[in-house]
């Protein structure tokens, strides 16, 4: 049972108990009012004025709101099961992880979901207190000295906090392994400002020339024709795509927000993965990065691996490194840092037994990356001209962003895999 359903069940149980309690009290009051002597009428003397208003049968007194003065009127009968459920719902625990000289502390409920909307305080051994300022259930602490620490959640009104502190080891160096609890950080577009966060700009468009091939190409030998898609392509008829001669698809799993850095799943990811699989089209995935260091690259790779765990991939997991309009949080990275980000992403992916790859434009490879350090990974080149000018080695070429394929409305990116 997921957390939303469990909360609904708990609320429904509380409502049912209150309703039963009200019905019991109401039935008791009706029974009492109909006992012998309950229907009281004043004795009147012939010709004399009435000394009291007659009371209707079944009613004692004329104050219809008197029950509101009874503090115990709405109290339900004791229900140990319901009390235990309410107690469990208010119990909190900590999930604490370290990637490199840092700690990410997540305050979670009984279902393991981050508790949002509260300014929780934690105490870190020897360093004092830290507050969840943005109330998202996550406290991040960087620039720590490697070693062991104790983390304690301080008391919070309305919640049961752990009595004991959590012991955790702060790692000295990033290990390029999947972060187990990364699912707690993955958000949907309903939780963010997608218009501001999903702001990638295709650098290859600025480099395109009049020789760009926009038609669907015929392939031969080991060459395969493919597409790459995301939410921007809308609903896709994958059977028609398959029948149109498409051999593979690279599907966007998600992106890191260019403003807040949130990890966000593409709203069409699941439906595209299921649709392609049902139509027999082999797939790979890509993730638009805005990581500013290796730690964030490991987070991004971990998020993708969490998202694809229920699907079969025949093509790599790519890190999509492009600009975000000049104002993205990673737009100003130097080539060394950007290369480290790509390496960390691919190493984490490959340590999880997937193939890693890098997507970029010709200009991006030439000016923003040290390509000599990426030779062990699958290189996906974006260059929109009849024949690429890029001098490096690549295994896939995105030759246009203005292709057309039956089953997809509007333009679609077209690729050839070698």
- List 356's β-bridge partners, or say none: 317
User: Phi and psi for 229 in degrees, rounded to 5?
Assistant: -135, 160
Residue 45: pLDDT band with limits 50, 70, 90: very low
Residues 273 and 407 in one domain: yes
CATH number of the structural domain spanning residue 151: 2.60.40.10
pLDDT in tens, 298-322: 999 999 999 999 999 999 999 999 9
Residue 152 near residue 96, CB atoms below 8 Å: no
| 309 assigned to some structural domain | yes
CATH number of the structural domain spanning residue 356: 3.20.20.80
Asked which of 115, 150, 170 is the last residue of a domain, the reply is 170
Residues 216 and 110 in one domain: no
In this prediction, residue 359 carries a pLDDT of 98
With 50 as the cut, is the pLDDT of residue 43 above it?
no
| 1 assigned to some structural domain | no
In this prediction, residue 117 carries a pLDDT of 92
Domain count within the chain: 2
For 110, the domain range is 90-170
Considering the chain, what percentage of its residues have pLDDT values greater than 90?
69
Residues 200 and 238 in one domain: yes
Question: Average pLDDT for residues 182-192, to the nearest whole number?
Answer: 94
Residue 48: pLDDT band with limits 50, 70, 90: very low
Residues 370 and 276 in one domain: yes
- List 97's β-bridge partners, or say none: 104
Asked which of 120, 150, 170 is the last residue of a domain, the reply is 170
| 223 assigned to some structural domain | yes
Residues 379 and 252 in one domain: yes
Q: What is the largest CA-CA distance in the chain?
A: 119
Q: Taking each helix axis from N to C terminus, what angle separates 335-351 and 294-308, rounded to the nearest 10 degrees?
A: 40
| 36 assigned to some structural domain | no
Residues 208 and 343 in one domain: yes
Question: Average pLDDT for residues 282-286, to the nearest whole number?
Answer: 98
Residues 148 and 192 in one domain: no
Asked which of 170, 205, 236 is the last residue of a domain, the reply is 170
Residues 269 and 404 in one domain: yes
Q: Which two three-digit tokens encode residue 410?
A: 């509007």
| 175 assigned to some structural domain | no
Residues 191 and 161 in one domain: no
Residues 160 and 190 in one domain: no
| 35 assigned to some structural domain | no
CA distance 78 to 91: 21
The pTM (predicted TM-score) of the whole model is 0.76
| 44 assigned to some structural domain | no
Rg (CA), the chain: 32
| 79 assigned to some structural domain | no
Q: What is the 3-state secondary structure (H, E, C) of 6-47?
A: HHHHHHHHHHHHHHHHHHHHHHHHHHHHCCCCCCCCCCCCCC
pLDDT in tens, 113-168: 889 899 999 999 999 999 999 898 999 998 999 999 999 999 999 899 999 999 99
User: Phi and psi for 411 in degrees, rounded to 5?
Assistant: -75, 155
């Amino acid at each position: 049972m997921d957390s939303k359903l469990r909360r609904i069940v708990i609320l429904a149980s509380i409502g049912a108990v209150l309703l039963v309690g009200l019905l019991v009290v109401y039935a008791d009051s009706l029974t009492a009012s109909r006992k012998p002597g309950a229907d009281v009428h004043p004795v009147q003397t012939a010709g004399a004025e009435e000394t009291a208003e007659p009371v209707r049968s079944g009613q004692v007194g004329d104050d219809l709101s008197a029950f509101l003065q009874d503090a115990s009127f709405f109290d339900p009968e004791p229900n140990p099961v319901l009390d235990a459920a309410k107690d469990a719902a208010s119990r909190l625990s900590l999930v604490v992880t370290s990637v490199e000289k840092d700690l990410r502390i997540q305050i979670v409920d009984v279902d393991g979901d981050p508790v949002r909307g509260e300014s929780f305080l934690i105490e870190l051994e020897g360093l004092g207190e830290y507050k969840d300022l943005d109330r998202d259930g996550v406290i991040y602490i960087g620039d720590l000295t490697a070693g062991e620490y104790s983390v304690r959640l301080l008391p919070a009104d309305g919640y049961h906090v752990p009595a004991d502190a959590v012991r955790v080891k702060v790692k000295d160096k990033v290990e390029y392994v999947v972060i187990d609890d990364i699912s707690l950080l993955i958000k949907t577009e309903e939780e963010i400002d997608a218009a501001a966060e999903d702001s990638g700009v295709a650098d290859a468009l600025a480099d395109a020339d009049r020789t760009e091939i926009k038609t669907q190409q015929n392939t031969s030998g080991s060459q395969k024709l493919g597409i790459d898609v995301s939410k921007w392509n809308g609903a896709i008829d994958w059977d028609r795509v398959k029948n149109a001669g498409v051999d593979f698809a690279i599907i966007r799993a998600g992106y890191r927000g260019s403003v807040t850095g949130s990890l966000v799943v593409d709203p069409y990811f699941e439906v595209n993965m299921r649709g392609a699989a049902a139509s027999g089209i082999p797939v790979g995935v890509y993730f638009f990065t805005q990581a500013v260091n290796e730690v964030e690259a490991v987070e991004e790779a971990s998020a993708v691996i969490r998202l694809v765990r229920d699907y079969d991939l025949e093509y790599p997991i790519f890190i999509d490194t492009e600009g975000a309009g000049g104002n993205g949080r990673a737009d100003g990275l130097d080539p060394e840092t950007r290369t480290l980000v790509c390496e960390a992403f691919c190493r984490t992916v490959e340590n999880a037994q997937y193939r890693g790859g890098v997507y970029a434009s010709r200009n991006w490879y030439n000016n923003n990356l040290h390509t000599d350090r990426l030779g062990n990974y699958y290189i996906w080149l974006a260059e929109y001209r009849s024949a690429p000018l890029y001098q490096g080695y690549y295994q896939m070429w995105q030759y246009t962003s203005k292709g057309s394929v039956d089953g997809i409305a509007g333009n679609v990116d077209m690729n050839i895999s070698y």
